[in-house]
Chains A and B, each alone.
Chain A
């Protein structure tokens, strides 16, 4: 009877070519700020630092400072307006984008 090993060592697969792997990086579909027709403008005086806009932003383009005040990354903001909708004190206003 042949002497089979009970467990096979697992080897790293040898690849003959560099596998085409996509790596996560910002702007995978271009500078999406160009999609915007309305842009959010934050009124810093009204802001109560509740960071609800930061929480609900689908794109993560509302950026939180250390003291929890926020600003907008206009390069990638798509202008959906969720931040203005969830703001409890209406400190974010959607204004028409002027190119």
Chain B
């Protein structure tokens, strides 16, 4: 697979200006990179999420994809049926992509995604992880990290973030990867690679939401990069039973080369109440270490 180069990306205007997304929205960034990677042969399945809002109202759509809106709990199963339908009609070039939020993946849609992964249905599932239910007003989800403020955890969440990519790896699906909107070329490369594979593909895309994370909209890209640089959100891919750390994340395997965690937390208003609490900061550090311990363990078993 050729590495994606910035100057070789398609020049066509793939975004759809004038949609209903907030300024600095990471989801429209992700959609644009998705379109750059897949071109016109992709169909989107969207459960209830911000994407349904960004679409806008009839008769115009603010997203440059054919979209089927479905219910929260059935995104993966809807896509599985759609994919089977396209195969029956001989339209093998059409790629069915689910673009769901973290609530629709880690909480409400988990049984559907687990079923589709078990059946190895031919779909690409992208989870846009903004770490809470941002569309309905910043309620906590199981993908919200420890200590983060949301409207339902006003003193900070007391549990750790659910690690969905590792759950999917244990399903034995062909392709699982994590990506971040701060590293678009890495994301585009992963989507292109996944679209060549037959079977169930999963990409976990980190999308820092300026509204819910309480930071300035101009920092969306920087925040997505800081999450990787602090080691908080490692980028990796799991393909054919082998786990590899992706190039943007490789230097940060060494804890000494990571950006100090406080640089990432202090820019976000949702962590304001724990900045002076050493115990809470220690718990987040421990979460980072534990994630990397799992990744190193999985990587060391490659080829066995």
Interface residues of A (CB under 8 A from B): 10, 20, 22-32, 35-36, 50-52, 55-61, 63-64, 68, 73, 75-76, 78-82, 84-86, 94
Contacts and interface: CB of A to CB of B under 8 A. Distances in A.
Contacts, number: 123
A69 B145 CA distance: 40
B16 A35 contact: no
A51 B6 CA distance: 8
A44 B65 CA distance: 34
22 contacts: A22-B55, A22-B58, A23-B59, A24-B65, A25-B60, A27-B60, A28-B20, A28-B57, A29-B62, A35-B23, A36-B23, A51-B6, A55-B6, A56-B221, A58-B24, A58-B29, A61-B17, A68-B7, A80-B23, A80-B218, A85-B222, A86-B221
A60 B32 contact: yes
B26 interface: yes
B19 interface: yes
B19 A28 contact: yes
B59 A20 contact: yes
Interface string B112-124: 0000000000000
Contacts of A94: 218
A83 to B, nearest CB: 8
B249 interface: no
Interface string B208-235: 0010000011111110000000000000
B17 A82 contact: no
Given A58-B26, A76-B17, A28 B60 contact: yes
Interface residues of B, number: 43
Contact of A80 (B7, B14, B17, B217): B217
B172 interface: no
A80 B56 CA distance: 20
B32 A85 contact: no
**Most-contacted residue by chain B among A27, A63, A84 (CB, 10 A):** A27
B14 A60 contact: yes
A58 B59 contact: no
Contacts of A52: 6
Nearest to B65: A24
**Most-contacted residue by chain B among A61, A86, A94 (CB, 10 A):** A86
A30 B18 contact: yes
A78 B64 CA distance: 18
A52 B185 CA distance: 11
A42 B271 CA distance: 34
